[in-house]
Amino acid sequence: MKKLQNKTAICISIIFLMLISINAQNEVDAFRFSESDWEGTARFMGAGKAFGAVGAEFSALNTNPASIGLYKKSEITFTPLTLSISTNSSSYNANTTWAPGVKYNLGSAGIVLALPGISSSLWKKIQFGFGFNRIKNYNNIFSVEGRNFGKTIGSDFALSAEGLDCNNVNSWPLGITGDEAFMGWNSFLINPKEGSQTSYEPALRGVDMFHSSTVVQAGGKDELVFSSGTNYNDKLFLGATIGVPIINFTENRTFIEENDLESNTHNFQRLQIDEKLNVRAAGINFKLGVIYQPFDFFRFGAAFHTPTYYGTVKDYYEREMEANYWIEEDKKKKYYTLTLDPLANRSHYALSTPLRTMANFAFFIKQKAFISAEYEFVNYGSALMYSVDYNYNRENNIIKETFGFCHIARIGAEINLNQVFALRAGYNYSSTPYKDNINDGSKHYASLGFGFRTKFFYGDFAYALTTTKLKYWMFNPAFVNAVNNHFITHKLIFSLGLRF
């Protein structure tokens, strides 16, 4: 490669300080922070999270606030253990890679006070609740390995360099696409097309190489709840919740492209790109709920959630690259390392998530058992990103084109074996949030639970299994085959509570 041979004077380690101006925030973040999976206490999780019409369950204050109106005694609840065990698999070009992981987090904590209602009236109780529930768990890990079938990230870099004069592409900074071109040029992954100074092609197109990538995500979305409710004649139950979701999310991603076959005579040896993303945010929303009990054996309810407004989403993003190659000097191979070491990119933006609506139903069997069902509707395509110093029209249009209506169904059941012990089970299904089958993302959730209750104390245990399938691309989908991820998560949950 002429360009490579002309750089024989390059030092073994070359450091470029490069400010990556690519905005980390995009339609993926808008969807990620709009989604909620409604986790919480072991009883809530064990019975399929379907407590909107059953009521008297602390975690249901996040879904149907009218649940608080069913409390007749005050209660303190704490979920000290939520253990997540993942057994994820990723298939890329006929090769499957497994990535196990274990994470622990607090599930919920809160207090509900059930106070006497208005004397000489049918308003029997007034309730107030405060605490938090984890409503989205971001802990996840997956790894990808496989042959590239001749598809190289250099194609992505070449596209970014289109239109840039090859005499200037080595200059820095060049802007969003220019930084990509700068990386491709200095890692010797792109060359000018013959006879052109502004059009490029990947140097390694068609070369059989090894691809690998690891993505590690951590954190969660915990929502503080400030709830109040009331009970009218044990028939009508009303509730309202002010929610304050707090987001703590991190993602570390590594991508490697390696020329690992001796039969490949190209000078390039290995490329590694490391990306880090940290996001912190706090928002606010308002929820209204109602439950009506026309018969002793039947209740139905509904809830409405306003959009959540995150006034400031703090985004910290960085990216660095290291390329290894060899140059022949004095009839000897000499190996070099090129390091592009970025500065951090910090940005702030605002996010408005979609509104939600829910319908709830519950059937009771002689106060010894219940069967409940819920339906939830949300349009993820209505999420909006905005900022005073950046126009998010492009990102918001992509959100509308990529995401659409999502339908979520939950069913649950509980049976009291005697006055102390109870068994529970549940199932959830979430339809794909993506339009036009561009991805899957549908979810299945199944759970089992067991609990005991005395007059003043209770303990609950639950096991939950969540599965979902999601495609992932290591770089521009136009130049690389999709990775088919199958995420499987096992959860063990334990809760304690006091009633007074």
The CATH number for 410's domain is 2.40.160.60
pLDDT of residue 117: 84
pTM higher than 0.85, yes or no?
yes
Domain, as residue range, for 82: 31-146+222-246+277-313+351-499
> Which whole number is the average pLDDT over 323-330?
77
Assigned token pair, 38: 């409604």
Most confident of 177-186, 258-267, 289-298: 289-298
pLDDT of residue 11: 30
pLDDT of residue 50: 98
Assigned token pair, 456: 């003043």
Judge whether 161 lies within some domain: no
The string of pLDDT tens digits covering residues 185-225 is 877 788 899 888 889 999 888 999 999 999 999 999 999 99
Residue partners of 418: CB distance under 8 A and separation at least 6: none
pLDDT tier, 3 (very low <50, low <70, confident <90, very high otherwise): very low
Judge whether 103 lies within some domain: yes
76 contacts 144 by C-beta, under 8 angstroms = no
Judge whether 188 lies within some domain: no
pLDDT of residue 342: 61
Judge whether 187 lies within some domain: no
Q: How many structural domains compose the chain?
A: 1
208 contacts 290 by C-beta, under 8 angstroms = no
pLDDT of residue 341: 60
pLDDT of residue 171: 58
Judge whether 410 lies within some domain: yes
> Which whole number is the average pLDDT over 448-468?
97
> Which whole number is the average pLDDT over 19-41?
77
Indicate if the pLDDT at residue 86 is higher than 50: yes
Kindly state the percentage of the chain with pLDDT values over 70: 91
pLDDT tier, 23 (very low <50, low <70, confident <90, very high otherwise): very low
Judge whether 115 lies within some domain: yes
The more confidently predicted of residues 18 and 468 is 468
State whether residue 382 is helix, strand or coil: helix
Query: For all residues of the chain together, what is the average pLDDT?
Result: 89
Kindly state the percentage of the chain with pLDDT values over 90: 74
Question: Residue 441, CB half-sphere, CA atoms under 13 Å: how many?
Answer: 22
- CA gap 144, 219 in Å, rounded: 22
> Which whole number is the average pLDDT over 55-72?
97
> Which whole number is the average pLDDT over 28-32?
93
The more confidently predicted of residues 63 and 203 is 63
> Which whole number is the average pLDDT over 30-49?
97
Judge whether 254 lies within some domain: no
- CA gap 35, 399 in Å, rounded: 14
Question: DSSP of 2-46, one letter per residue?
Answer: HHHHTTTT--SEEEEEEE----S-SHHHHHHHH-------HHHHH
The lowest-confidence range among 245-254, 321-330, 430-439 is 321-330
3 contacts 325 by C-beta, under 8 angstroms = no
> Which whole number is the average pLDDT over 391-414?
95
Judge whether 205 lies within some domain: no
Indicate if the pLDDT at residue 262 is higher than 90: no
Alpha helices in 338-454 (DSSP H): 393-402
Q: Give CA angle at 355 (353, 361), nearest 5°.
A: 135
The string of pLDDT tens digits covering residues 119-178 is 788 998 999 999 999 999 999 999 999 999 999 999 999 998 888 887 777 655 444 445
